[in-house]
Amino acid sequence: MNRKKIAIVTGANHGIGFETALGMARAGYHVIMACRNRMKAESARAAIAERLPSASLGVMEIDLGDFASVRAFARDYRAASSYLDVLINNAGILLYTAQTNGDGIEQQFATNHLGHFLLTALLFDLFPDDPSSRIVHLSSLAHKNARIHFDDLTCGGNGGEAYGQSKLACLMFGEELHRRLRAAGLKTRSIPVHPGGSDSGLFDEMSRAQYYFFKILSPFILHSNASAAKPSLFAALDPAAEGGQYYGPKGYQEFRGKVGKANRDPSTQDLDSATRLWDLSEELTGQTFIPARQDGSVHRGDIASSTANAR
Ligand SMILES: NC(=O)c1ccc[n+]([C@@H]2O[C@H](COP(=O)([O-])OP(=O)(O)OC[C@H]3O[C@@H](n4cnc5c(N)ncnc54)[C@H](OP(=O)(O)O)[C@@H]3O)[C@@H](O)[C@H]2O)c1
């Protein structure tokens, strides 16, 4: 059956997500722009349609930092569509002071990681068992030197540290999901990426002095949002993109350049921490997530033993 492929891009109204949505539309996908502000999303949809009149686009509301909103999104998506080919977990925030959300969880950890963990879990059975079905996770160079503060996710109120922690969690989730997919014998690819650096809306909360410093320096060391979207588009579209690999720009300090295999902090290979993070994510979202075949033939025990074998 010849059906239109569907991609969901979270945070598609601005920055890297906007360029990613445009790229997926160019590749012929129907793109669901999953955004927290409908007006901003509609104006981004109009901007994409102006640049690409053939684009097939939908807008749906989601607040990744609010689990009830993520559940409502998944419910609405499932009511409208029986399959999903690509999920790009792109939306993100950078806060300079750690804050907690309505569920009492550090806001960046909730938005950048847990909201996407929950979304992926709720839509997982819609992916066709095919290597072109992809789940892409946006990490960051900031994952390096970060760690998961299992005892205090607010990182003592240090927003920068909590941002690094959330992006480390995105990378570890992407890798652990790959291990579990492989253990379950599923072909969907889970691929973490980082965009390098680009002058997007992410840095809007900087102090005025930092902001001007950043504005002066960024043209020399960073790249455009369109270039920063390339690792995500490679992971989502290229047959050569491997599950469990980590991709990003390979130029100066990995800030910009051609897409290739990116460097990851050795701590991401700590499998006990990856399992602990997965369990914590299930606990905090209240959502069990067992990648299983659609006939349900893989069960938790099987995954535990085959994941151990895959290690
Ligand atoms: N730019 C960089 O240098 C850089 C470097 C490393 C990693 N990244 C990662 O790249 C991704 C995209 O960021 P960006 O640089 O393009 O920043 P951006 O321009 O600020 O875009 C972030 C997007 O995420 C959305 N978003 C934020 N909180 C949300 C929530 N609770 N629910 C739903 N959507 C939400 C924003 O929506 P609103 O417009 O409504 O706020 C916006 O559409 C992020 O995951 C970020 O961590 C960026």
Left (φ > 0), alpha (ψ -120 to 50) or beta: where does 207 sit? beta
Residue 131 scores a pLDDT above 60: yes
Average pLDDT over residues 108-131: 97
pLDDT attached to residue 299? 40
pLDDT attached to residue 206? 76
Reported pTM: 0.94
Name the residue of 8, 9, 13, 14 whose CB sits within 8 Å of the most ligand 1 atoms, as the mutation to test its pocket: 14
Q: Which of 29, 77, 163, 246 is catalytic?
A: 163
Give yes or no: 163 in active site.
Answer: yes
Average pLDDT over residues 157-182: 96
Average pLDDT over residues 180-184: 95
Average pLDDT over residues 25-52: 98
Tokens representing 38 are 């409908």
Confidence bin at 302 (pLDDT 50/70/90): very low
Confidence bin at 307 (pLDDT 50/70/90): very low
Residue 167 scores a pLDDT above 50: yes
Cβ of 89 closer than 6 Å to ligand 1, yes or no, is no
Between CA 291 and CA 181 the distance in angstroms is 6
pLDDT attached to residue 294? 54
Which atom of ligand 1 lies closest to the CA of 16? 16
Tell me the CA–centroid distance for residue 14 and ligand 1, in Å.
Answer: 7
Please count the other Cβ atoms lying within 10 Å of the Cβ belonging to residue 41. 24
Residue 151 scores a pLDDT above 70: yes
Dump pLDDT digits (tens) for 277-301: 999 999 999 999 988 655 555 444 3
Between CA 71 and CA 54 the distance in angstroms is 31
Cβ of 40 closer than 6 Å to ligand 1, yes or no, is yes
pLDDT attached to residue 204? 81
pLDDT attached to residue 293? 58
Between the two ends of the chain, the Cα-to-Cα distance in Å is 37
Average pLDDT over residues 127-137: 97
Between CA 93 and CA 10 the distance in angstroms is 12
Average pLDDT over residues 161-177: 97
pLDDT attached to residue 219? 85
Dump pLDDT digits (tens) for 244-285: 999 999 998 999 999 999 999 998 989 999 999 999 999 999
- Residue 210: closest CA among 97, 107, 108, 96: 96
pLDDT attached to residue 234? 98
Residue 2 scores a pLDDT above 80: no
**Residue scoring higher pLDDT (107 or 294):** 107
**Residue scoring higher pLDDT (2 or 114):** 114
Query: Atom 18 (ligand 1): residue with closest C-alpha?
Result: 201
Confidence bin at 208 (pLDDT 50/70/90): confident
Between CA 240 and CA 128 the distance in angstroms is 18
Residue 170 scores a pLDDT above 90: yes
Tell me the CA–centroid distance for residue 201 and ligand 1, in Å.
Answer: 7
pLDDT attached to residue 130? 95
- Residue 197: closest CA among 119, 257, 246: 257
The hierarchical CATH code for the domain 6-310 is: 3.40.50.720
Residue 57 scores a pLDDT above 60: yes
**Domain definitions of the chain by residue range:** 6-310
Contact 277, 169 (CB under 8 A): yes
Tell me the CA–centroid distance for residue 93 and ligand 1, in Å.
Answer: 5
pLDDT attached to residue 115? 98
How does DSSP classify residue 126? G
| CA-atom Rg of the chain in angstroms | 18
Name the residue of 200, 225, 233 whose CB sits within 8 Å of the most ligand 1 atoms, as the mutation to test its pocket: 200
- Mapped onto helix, strand or coil, the DSSP state of residue 80 is helix
Contact 190, 137 (CB under 8 A): yes
Tell me the CA–centroid distance for residue 77 and ligand 1, in Å.
Answer: 21
pLDDT attached to residue 300? 41
Query: Atom 7 (ligand 1): residue with closest C-alpha?
Result: 140
Lowest mean pLDDT among 167-181, 184-198, 248-262, 290-304: 290-304
